[in-house]
Amino acid sequence: MQASIYVADDEPALLNAIVKRLSKGQHKVRAFKSGDELLAAVEQDIPDLVLVDMKMPGKTGIETLAALRAKSRDVVVILLTAYGTVEEAVEAMKLGAYDFIIKTVDLQLVEPVVNRALEHALRRQVADVAKDKADH
Residue 123's pLDDT band, with cuts at 50, 70 and 90, is: confident
Average pLDDT, the chain: 86
Helix (H) or strand (E) holding 50: strand 49-53
Q: How many residues does the chain have?
A: 136
Structure-model confidence comparison of residues 112 and 4, the more confident one: 4
If one compares 130 and 107, the residue with the highest pLDDT of the two is: 130
List, for residues 5-57, the tens digit of each pLDDT value.
999 999 998 899 889 888 887 889 999 999 999 999 999 999 999 999 998 88
Each residue's pLDDT tens digit, 61-80: 999 999 998 888 888 999 98
**Centroid of chain to Cα 53:** 9
pLDDT for residue 5: 93
In the prediction, which pLDDT does 66 show? 93
Q: Is 77 helix (H, G, I), strand (E, B) or coil?
A: strand
Q: Does residue 105 register a pLDDT over 60?
A: no
CA distance 10 to 91: 21
For the cut 60, the answer to whether the pLDDT of residue 107 exceeds it is yes
pLDDT of residue 104: 66
> Which domains, and CATH codes, for the chain?
4-135 (3.40.50.2300)
The pair phi, psi for residue 96, each rounded to 5°, is 100, 15
Q: Is the pTM of this model over 0.95?
A: no
